Amino acid sequence: MSQPIDTMRHSTAHVMAAAVKRLFPEAKFGVGPVVENGFYYDIDIGRAVTPEDVKAIDAEMKRIVKENPAFVREEMPIDEAVKRFKAMGQTYKVELLSDLKKKGTTKISAEESTDVDPANVKTVSVYQTGDFVDLCRGPHVEKAKEIGVWKLNKVAGAYWRGKQENPQMQRIYGLCFATKDELANYETMMAEAEKRDHRKLGKELELFSIIDEVGPGLPLFYPKGAVLRRTLENFVTDMQEKRGYAPIWIPHITKGRLYEMSGHLQKYDAMYPPMQLKDEDAYYLKPMNCPHFMMLYKTQPHSYRELPVRWTCTTTNYRYEKSGELSGLTRVRSLTQDDCHVFAMPSQIEGEINLMLDMVDEAYRVFGFKDFWVRVSTHDPADKKKYIGDMKVWEASEAALKRLIAGRGWKHEIGVGEAAFYGPKLDFMAKDVIGREWQLSTVQLDMNLPERFELEYVDADGSKKRPVVIHRAILGSTERFLGILIEHYAGAFPVWLAPVQVIVLSVAERHADYAAKLVQDLVDAGLRAEADVSNESVGKKIRNAERMKVPYALVVGDKEAGGGDLTVRRRGEKDQSSMSKDAFLVRVSQEDRERVTFQ
């Protein structure tokens, strides 16, 4: 009988641990959860795990699968489990059990949750696989031959329970899929992803750098990268302003009192420490823009006649993300948001969100994200303390979002517990060209912050009413979106996004002046162009242009300098063509204007 893939992956982690136990009888085990595309297990064998060890573990796993032992479950009182694992010398498991036994202790990490059930701490379950016994709540396959196809692919150090003061263990990762073809397809995708790694391409294409002296998670952008991000942000700005959104500007620091009003000081855990100033309140680097928008709205009187008020601001926030979670541009500490807040009457919610959904749809078509779905992120009824506001307001807001997204006919799922602390949201999940999924745009419906900030508008009958606020970001974070786009296009950007759209290559030194004039003509036509008039051979210049992934290269020699047609090389094509300068300008300007994509 076919087993769910997560069950197979969890069972494979147990088979791997059983193999480790056979090879290293004194080994101690931490946790072994399922992760995306596979599993890992934290082990302690008293030293680092070597590549030779991994080969031996893999071979032993194959022997265990051939023996085909059953996965046998046994329930027991927690005290009995403590004695049993203590007798086996499994100190990490004993620590988990002891923590669970303490009165009121149900705080365990996501990784540990595969091993114990915090809702039931009187009894625990163990699974035996051959000679190996593990603390685990399951489920598992029935027999070892049902675990699927696996491959041990990585070893890393990991502190026990993620704390630096604890012992360092060895984390062995593995992939697991139901079939060989699925594993092969995944490995092909990962090989392609490695070639597209935005950190590697960012350096090669001179886009950005992260410098130790500046700080982790704080990227700096070279001219080409700055042009790329400006082009991206201008695209969103133009799209918004055509639909009646107005720009505002807000500062990057604020008094702590503002975040007391919003609830961020109480609920948000990624804020930098306060800046204590003499004879003044403490100031914070802003992690969010919402409170600034609220306060600016509050400084002016508003009538129902002027609603909705649509304000946008592309601005940088600062969040103290853990250093181990930082990754190139996709997880940073300084993130720039194309932030928008719409202040509206309840009767305008549907129209305003649909306007936002139209923009999201347009953006994804332009960038080539054809495969996406929407997570309707709601509150967790089992943990209401995480959220502010009346639960009836939450239920009404969530119902509105569900209705709107269903009306679009877009694929969607409910994400219980994924909401922001002040309101439910729509999170857009899109796949890139090699099938990886990313979270991109967000639309949040907020009926709570307007109450906390006492926002008002005067209705038609003269009474004062509370507006609703709709938060929206299409890119989400410029930095993160750039990282995704670099990998989506493998650095080969379409003309409209390319930092350098055309490069002019001189054949000889005598052609340098004409190359410079041609570049100026291109720039005057609104294109981004530069020249390579170095002493290198034409062949090397062409290879450099291809390496830098410039969409068009113009080779200029005696014919071109004498007024003849241009020699045009298009990225990725071996053959070159000839066309007049005017025809070339028309072609590239049209591709730029219409945002034509070619790779």
Give the catalytic positions in this structure: 290, 319, 337, 339, 341, 425, 471
Phi and psi torsions of 276, nearest 5°: -85, 120
- Phi and psi of 225, rounded to 5°? -70, -40
DSSP structural state of residue 308: P
Q: Give the dihedral sign, CA 139/142/144/145.
A: negative
Q: Considering only CA atoms, which of 5, 4, 11 is closest in space to residue 37?
A: 5
341 is in an annotated binding site: yes
For residue 63, the surrounding DSSP H or E stretch is helix 51-67
Question: 425 Cβ partners below 8 Å, 6+ apart?
Answer: 377, 401, 418, 419, 442, 443, 444, 445, 471
Residue 257: both structure tokens together: 């009192």
**Degrees (nearest 5) of the Cα angle 101, 107, 113?**
90
**Taking Cα atoms as reference points, which of 474, 402, 410 lies closest to residue 442?**
474
Q: Residue 423 forms beta bridges with which residues?
A: 420
Residue 92 region by backbone torsions, left for phi larger than 0, else alpha for psi between -120 and 50, else beta: alpha
Cβ burial, residue 102 (10 Å; 0-12/13-18/19+) = exposed
The reply, when asked if residue 176 is annotated as ligand binding, is no
Residue where the block lists tokens 């055509």: 242
Closest to 584 (Cα-Cα) out of 598, 564, 562: 564
CA distance 228 to 562: 34
The residue among 446, 196, 242, 476 whose CA lies nearest residue 364 is 476
The DSSP result for 68-79, as a single string, is: --BEEEEEEEHH
- The alpha-helical segments, DSSP class H, found in 477-534 are 478-488, 512-524
Alpha helices in 387-477 (DSSP H): 391-408, 449-452
**Lookup result for tokens 């009165």:** 103
471 is in an annotated binding site: yes
246-247 and 309-318 beta bridge pairing: parallel
Side-chain-side CA neighbours of residue 176 (13 Å) = 27
**What token pair was written down for 432?**
């890139």
Annotated binding-site positions for Zn(2+): 290, 341, 471
